[in-house]
Amino acid sequence: MTTEIAIIGDHFMLPEVFEEKILAACGDRATTRTRKENWPDVPMEHGYAVEGMDGLKEYLGTADDVVDFVGEAEILVTHLAPMSRTMFSRLPGLKMIAVSRGGPVNIDMGAAKDHGVLVVNTPGRNASAVAEFTIGAILTETRKIREGHEDLRKGIWRGDLYRADVAGRELNEMTVGVIGYGHVGTRVVRLLRAFGCRILVNDPYIQLDPEDAAAGVELVSFDRVVAESDVLTLHPRVSDETRGMINADSLSRMKPGSLLVNTARGPICDYDALYQALQSGPLAGAMLETFSIEPPPVDWPLLQLPNVTLTPHIAGASVRTVTYAAEQAAEEVRRYLCSEPARNPC
């Protein structure tokens, strides 16, 4: 007897890769069918804008299309497909959903529980990609890569970047603060250690890995990481505790000439306060990869500042992110079919 699996992917989380990994893991115990949505070529939806999708965000697809495609399938593997309470009631045969992302924000988890549907996710799917990107972002700011690039494109040869009072700084002489020591933050710390910098970590819910502690990494308070860092890089989840934690007060306590890097989530920052800190100090520059509203408005003030590097939320965009997520999802499906406990139940 085979189990029917519906796979809904997109142009990033390729459904054919998930199908390949699932069939390799499950063999003839599974039959699959796939659908490919048009993300990222079209934007995601948010539940507050669509009737019947209350509480869902970062999803793509309509209720009718998803329900019709899933049909009698017992398992749904998806990246962005929504699953609202009403949709669960229309899919009585659905017993498991594997969401290929860190948080199942496109799934009504209360409804899943009420309908007895197991939901699993793929935590850390892009942690390595984001960590590597973060190191690149830090070097872009500390070594004046952005400044040299932008001026050279304008025909300006920045020979003055060799002046001792203008030149960039090496990481081995700097203190780098890391807020958030989860899947991404721990990898950032391990990559930073190779540069020989002093590393401070702020995360009130963890203990340092013994290897990091032995290498001199320090676990410190929020006040210390803000005040002592030459570079501050953000990696916490968005919560009531972290939303707006980078605000006028915390920015005012940062070192003159310090740098801020955000490859986490936009709501962690108060952007009005950040704009002021970049215009009049203490920040010398910032690298912003995520924003509270995506895409940001074309007249957004931060887009106009010369001391900011901005990228369109691409830190996690790597091919390995896709294959790693597919491998995790396939293992979860195999475990379900073999009546083994899930690794990452939500």
Q: Which residues are catalytic?
A: 265, 294, 313
Nearest to 59 by CA among 68, 71, 72, 50: 50
Query: What count of other Cβ atoms lies within 10 Å of the Cβ of residue 165?
Result: 5
Task: Tokens for 340, please give them.
Answer: 């083994």
At residue 254's C-alpha, the angle toward residues 137 and 140, to 5°, is 15
Do residues 189 and 201 make contact, with C-beta atoms less than 8 angstroms apart?
Answer: yes
Alpha-carbon gap, residue 126 to 300, rounded angstroms: 28
How far is it, in rounded angstroms, from Cα 285 to Cα 278? 6
Amino acid at 246: I
Q: How far apart are the C-alpha atoms of 112 and 104, rounded to whole Å?
A: 11
Give the residue carrying structure tokens 């009005």.
272
- Torsion-angle region of residue 325: left (phi > 0), alpha (psi -120 to 50) or beta? alpha
In this structure, are residues 270 and 244 in contact, taking their beta carbons and an 8 Å threshold?
yes
Tracing tokens 């399938």 back to the chain, one arrives at: 73
Q: Are strands 258-262 and 198-202 parallel, antiparallel or unpaired?
A: unpaired
Instruction: List 202's β-bridge partners, or say none.
Output: 179
Q: Are 198 and 176 in contact (CB under 8 A)?
A: yes
Q: What is the largest CA-CA distance in the chain?
A: 73
H or E element that contains 185: helix 183-193
How is residue 339 annotated by DSSP?
A: T
- HSE on the CB side for 323, CA within 13 Å? 5
